[in-house]
Structure 1
Amino acid sequence: MCAYMRLSGAAAFAALVLLLLYAVRRWRNPRSSGRLPPGSMGLPFVGETLQFFSPDASFDVPRFVRHRLTRYGPIFKTSLVGHPVVVSADEELNYMVFQQEGKLFQSWYPDSFVEILGRDNVGEQQGAMFKYLKNMVLRYFGPESLRESMLGDVEHAVRNSLCTWSTLPAVELKEAVSTMVFDLSANKLLGLEQSRSKILRKSFFDFVRGLISFPLYLPGTAYYSCMKGRQSAMEVLQQVLEERKRSVQVLGARGVKEKTRRHGDFLDHVIQEITKEKPLVTDKMALDLMFVLLFASFHTTSLALTLAVKLLADHPHVLEELTVEHETILKDRKAGGESDGITWMEYKSMTFTSQVINETVRLANIAPGIFRKALKDIQFKGYTIPEGWGVMVCPPAVHLNPDIYPDPLTFNPSRFKDKPEINRGSRHFMAFGGGLRFCVGADFSKLQMSIFLHFLVTRYRWKTLEGGKIVRTPGLEFPDGYHIQTRQRD
């Protein structure tokens, strides 16, 4: 009897081992109707997620992608947070992914990232609903709005911030710029005053610290802090939305005209949408939309501006050329007897500034990957991308390709001279995305950066005190901060 039990136990153990080996083999060799790209699926369930999030102190293509490009070529397969993914550094495949949205591909992000940004965020919307929300945002952040109302507000925020920083012994630039941009965005989006914006800002700062991290929801992890920050921020946004809805209802009941009830912020547009007789936009969609807009408007701009200041400090000849452009604007303004404020025409004349911004975001590669999902089996260059698989377009692999950008790790704004086509995205420049989902806030971000650089180089001098180390995890970070001292010019 005992021998029989031992034999049965051994047989069960052997069957379990065989089952596990079979599962591992199936994981590493997923089924496909054709030839899959080369690559490794890593460990079962975990895939190669740990390698993807490993830090890399380099401006270069993230180590995870760099090593696989060398081994497998510009198209390879992997598995990230439980999803099979094809990674593309191939410009033709990238172009196809962006141009064939809704036909061959659709917007997609891993579940853990969707949880961070919200199940109803604009990135999850497809087809007509996405276009509807995009047009809704563009009505407020389009060129006309930037020219008529945003330009003066950005200038006011920049002037005040730089003036305050110049009285301090030191400033951690990333945090200081983040505060400046966030308070401006919170005011323009939600009508928040600085005191209330400060409460919301803390939640967003907690959120950002764990944004691109391994999705382990346990106390003490970056992902846990990120999700708690999101929860706190959403509670504030919910409160703001409810307050505005009640205010509109009360004023409407009193017979106050609709134009008089408006605050002049983006929340006005949101309230109009969700209070229609047959609204297309739900409260939850509106909250996720405002959350994403707040996050995108301050996080990417503050990182890019911090890097721009560091690069200018490290490259005096570029700083000199930039300063000449902006001092020329001041001279022409004085000669014409015009006011002290920046005009739209002056802003549009900042051609070298635009080159500096493009070169900065090319090197920054703030978005390490842009995700889509295959809607059907797709054949490309002899490989099959199976239906349902994720596709990660890798901007750093394009932006840092020496065949496209000679000496790619060098800060050289002049490489963008006479290349206006990149301003709306191209096969070789995707810092703001591409195709239908080209970033709706790109023009607002460029405006803020241009105005900031104008006042920085014409009215102030600065020196680096400490920090400035760059780490990719795989997003861009300044782990030790970037501490500078600013002083007004004589």
Structure 2
Amino acid sequence: MWSVWLSVISLLIVIATNWLYRWRNPKCNGKLPPGSMGLPLIGETLSFLVSNKSIDMPPFIKKRMKQYGPIFRTSLAGRPVVISSDPEFNHYVFQQEGKLVERWYMDSFAKILNEDATRISAQTNIHKYLRNRILGHFGPEVLKDKMLPKLEDAMDQRLQGWSKLSSLEVKKSTSAMIFDFTAKQLFSYEPEKAKENIAESFTNFLQGLMSFPINIPGTAYHRCLRNQKKAINLITTMFEERKRNPEIRKGDFLDQILADMKTETFFTDNFVIYTMFGLLLASFETISSTLTLAIKLINDHPKVVQALTEEHEAILKNREDVNSGLIWKEYKSMTFTHNVTNEALRLGSVAPGFLRRTIQDIQINGYTIPKGWALMVVPAALQLNPKTYEDPLAFNPWRWQDISANVTAKNFIPFGAGMTSCAGADFSKVLMAVFLHVLFTKYRWTTIKGGEVIRSPTLGFGDGFYIQVSAKHG
């Protein structure tokens, strides 16, 4: 009997040892990039998610770059991943969409955004189609001709409401502001008529989404799923109501999609609903984080406050009618404001990385990245590189006066790059610039609580960044 048990135990040890060896040494038709696969199943996920009280790049990335170089392998949430901070290779990868790589989402993101919807939208032709539709409603021409006055009015109304409060948490408040505005452009959402302030539920949504994907009450990921359901229910209600009443025309993004559903077979109800949610998530979460960081950094630098004040007051002085609305020519003239926005985007690096999946083996510097592996391009590693940006952790908008387009093409990618770069890039920049214009011409603010910058690995503000807003006149 003992010999039987000994044989079973020995067999189990051999199986476990073999499995562990294969985990640590994945199959590859060549030489894998250096690195470690971490613990079985969870890989190095826990280390990746460790918070860091600094604006610097996540310590997980920084430590391994120092140890292995700009390209290394790891495992996150059970998936083999190659992480790259090599600007030349990253630029090459972005040019190979649909050839060597395809868009990909971590399992936690895929579940939130719906796996079928993410799989369909990752197809190159469909992504291109959607991108063109998004640009048709949020691109430069629409911003210039239609949306600029709407943005200015929305920012002014929100700041006016803030001025009546004793204090407000900036990230939460800007998230709600951007959620409401974007939802109105997407499907004519009217928050004042809603039964519940859904926008309030989405503070720090991305941080919860980047937590370990355990759906247990009390966890950040569980809260994400719960809040996601609120938004999905809202969008579903609006979508179904519009389908039942085709005579209703709002001139919004949903109108366009409903028209496209008559000719494009990939536009199922489920796909439309989750696409709308994905657009909402991409706008309010990333823009609000960058805008909050910008306000905090501006607040800490009196010379920046002075320069912005002078620029925006000059715009008013040069108008024939000081009460007329902001025009595109004035927006384009905001040189220093654009520098401030770029500097906040550079330092913010809200997304911890842009994910792709290899659709065939990729050769790089003598290494092979196997087909089917995930590839993560890390913007913070490029945008906080001291070889590219002098004193990279310093908030210095003036640095943008001397940075050439050749440098930024491969080392400044807050919106990605290539054919799948964010279609909302111009919308994000215009929104932040318009907000700063309204803030500096009509309001002032006082910091109530500083808000410690953290990365976990997304950008966050500790216990919150609180300010008090008041009108300049009256």
Question: TM class, shorter-chain normalised?
Answer: over 0.9
What residue number does 2:280 align with? 294
Q: Could you tell me which of 74, 87, 91 is aligned with 1:91?
A: 87
Deviation sequence 1:441-490 (CA, Å, 0-9, x none): 11111111111101212222212111411111100011211011122225
Q: Which amino acid aligns with 1:459?
A: K
- Residue 401 to residue 123, structure 1, CA distance change in 2 (3 Å): farther
Q: Could you tell me which of 409, 412, 421 is aligned with 2:396?
A: 412
What residue number does 1:381 align with? 365
Residues in 1 aligned to 2:169 and 2:201: alpha-carbon distance in whole angstroms? 19
Q: Are the equivalent residues in 1 in contact too, given 2:176–2:200 (CA < 8 A)?
A: no
Unaligned 5+ residue runs, structure 2? Answer: none
Residue 153 of structure 1 pairs with residue 150 of structure 2:
yes
* 3-state SS of 1:321 partner: helix
Aligned residues: 471
- Residue 286 to residue 478, structure 1, CA distance change in 2 (3 Å): same
Residues in 2 aligned to 1:208 and 1:388: alpha-carbon distance in whole angstroms? 26
Q: What does 1:354-433 align with in structure 2 at a 5 Å threshold?
A: 354-417=338-401, 419=403, 421=405, 426-433=409-416
Q: Are the equivalent residues in 2 in contact too, given 1:108–1:123 (CA < 8 A)?
A: no
Residues in 2 aligned to 1:349 and 1:429: alpha-carbon distance in whole angstroms? 22
Residues in 2 aligned to 1:189 and 1:74: alpha-carbon distance in whole angstroms? 39
Percent identical across equivalent pairs? Answer: 46
* 3-state SS of 2:324 partner: coil
Shift of 1:148: 2.2
Residues in 2 aligned to 1:122 and 1:290: alpha-carbon distance in whole angstroms? 15
Shift of 1:292: 0.8
- Residue 381 to residue 133, structure 1, CA distance change in 2 (3 Å): same
What residue number does 2:290 align with? 304
Residues in 2 aligned to 1:154 and 1:215: alpha-carbon distance in whole angstroms? 36
* 3-state SS of 1:102 partner: coil
* 3-state SS of 1:372 partner: strand
What residue number does 1:243 align with? 241
Residue 138 of structure 1 pairs with residue 120 of structure 2:
no
Residues in 1 aligned to 2:138 and 2:83: alpha-carbon distance in whole angstroms? 32
Q: Which amino acid aligns with 1:154?
A: L
Deviation sequence 1:261-299 (CA, Å, 0-9, x none): 42121111111112x155442212111110011111111
Unaligned 5+ residue runs, structure 1? Answer: 252-260
Residue 189 of structure 1 pairs with residue 208 of structure 2:
no
Q: Could you tell me which of 316, 320, 328 is aligned with 2:302?
A: 316
Residues in 2 aligned to 1:357 and 1:77: alpha-carbon distance in whole angstroms? 33
Residues in 2 aligned to 1:179 and 1:213: alpha-carbon distance in whole angstroms? 22
Q: Which amino acid aligns with 2:141?
A: E
Residues in 1 aligned to 2:233 and 2:450: alpha-carbon distance in whole angstroms? 34
What residue number does 2:229 align with? 231
- Residue 413 to residue 64, structure 1, CA distance change in 2 (3 Å): same
Shift of 1:50: 0.6
Question: Structure 1 length as normaliser, TM-score?
Answer: 0.92
Range with bigger deviation, 372-381 or 414-423: 414-423
Q: What does 1:317-336 align with in structure 2 at a 5 Å threshold?
A: 317-333=303-319, 336=320
Q: Which amino acid aligns with 2:305?
A: L
Q: Which amino acid aligns with 2:284?
A: F
Deviation sequence 1:203-243 (CA, Å, 0-9, x none): 54485452211111222211111112222321221111000
Deviation sequence 1:161-195 (CA, Å, 0-9, x none): 11222222211111111121111111111111123
What residue number does 1:254 align with? none
Residues in 2 aligned to 1:27 and 1:230: alpha-carbon distance in whole angstroms? 34
- Residue 415 to residue 172, structure 1, CA distance change in 2 (3 Å): same
Residues in 2 aligned to 1:410 and 1:419: alpha-carbon distance in whole angstroms? 15
Shift of 1:15: 1.5
Q: Are the equivalent residues in 1 in contact too, given 2:163–2:470 (CA < 8 A)?
A: yes
What residue number does 1:434 align with? 417
- Residue 196 to residue 64, structure 1, CA distance change in 2 (3 Å): farther
What residue number does 1:469 align with? 452
Q: Are the equivalent residues in 2 in contact too, given 1:210–1:225 (CA < 8 A)?
A: yes
Residues in 2 aligned to 1:279 and 1:150: alpha-carbon distance in whole angstroms? 30
Q: Which amino acid aligns with 2:21?
A: R
Q: Are the equivalent residues in 2 in contact too, given 1:59–1:470 (CA < 8 A)?
A: yes
Residues in 1 aligned to 2:406 and 2:439: alpha-carbon distance in whole angstroms? 26
* 3-state SS of 1:426 partner: helix
Residues in 1 aligned to 2:138 and 2:146: alpha-carbon distance in whole angstroms? 10
* 3-state SS of 2:449 partner: strand
Residues in 2 aligned to 1:307 and 1:122: alpha-carbon distance in whole angstroms? 33
Q: What does 1:99-114 align with in structure 2 at a 5 Å threshold?
A: 99-114=95-110
Higher CA-based Rg = 1
What residue number does 1:211 align with? 209
